[in-house]
Amino acid sequence: MSTAAGHGRVAVFPGSFDPMTNGHVDIIERGCAIFDRVIVAVLINADKTPLFSVDERVSIIREVCASRPSVEVDTFDGLLVDYARRQGATALIRGLRAVSDFEYEFQMALMNRRLNHDLETVFLMPAEQYTYTSSRLIKEVFRLGGAVSGLVPPLVEQRLRQKQASIEDRLAGRRKA
Ligand code: PNS
């Protein structure tokens, strides 16, 4: 397993990213201004039924962040603090949009600190226009025919359209059978 020794200040930005939103992109940009390397780490969560597979999410984030050399995209499972330690990270980045995020984020930050005192959680606030953007709402609005442009990268919009088409094809196939 490679570590980040000698690569300056490394931060891990963990999450589900199902899918990546412009809020995430905004947080990554802010993270890049503070850290030498930002590892966007997609959780492999066997319990959830995501819209996009882990591989699809990784490929989207890689493409969206292709012009940022300090961004790396990876996957992880198990405890986040263990993954961060293996990467030589000194910080975890989390986005804080509104007070409603605070309780969950505060619990996680304190638990992670208890598990690893050397790892600091850094909260970054996205631009105001993304304070109400979440992956869950994006999926719901898109599925019901609402416009999500400006809230997600154009690539995500394109992948959402493809995903919707493939779901509709599958449903139509099932109805015929
Ligand atoms: O984007 P999300 O779904 O809010 O991200 C949640 C995430 C991935 C940060 C959190 O579920 C996580 O860290 N999971 C890994 C398992 C772990 O370390 N759990 C203890 C956290 S205190």
pLDDT in tens, 58-95: 999 999 999 999 999 999 999 999 999 999 999 999 99
Tell me which residue of 70, 68, 81 sits closest to 108, measured CA to CA.
Answer: 81
Alpha-carbon dihedral 119, 132, 138, 91, rounded to 10 degrees: -10
Closest C-alpha to ligand 1, atom 6 = 15
Q: Looking at residues 120-135, what average pLDDT do you find?
A: 96
Average pLDDT, the chain: 93
| E-assigned strand segments in 65-141 | 71-76, 91-95, 120-124
pTM over 0.95: no
Closest ligand 1 atom to Cα of 76: 15
Structure tokens, 17: 């990213």
Rounded CA separation 20/59 (Å): 11
Active site residues: 24, 48, 97, 135
Quote the strand ranges of the chain, DSSP E.
10-15, 37-43, 71-76, 91-95, 120-124
pLDDT at 57 over 70: yes
Residue closest to 3 by CA, chosen among 92, 87, 119 = 87
81 Cα to the center of ligand 1, angstroms: 10
Lowest mean pLDDT among 60-69, 84-93, 126-135, 161-170: 161-170
Q: Specify the pLDDT at position 175.
A: 78
Each residue's pLDDT tens digit, 1-20: 334 445 699 999 999 999 99
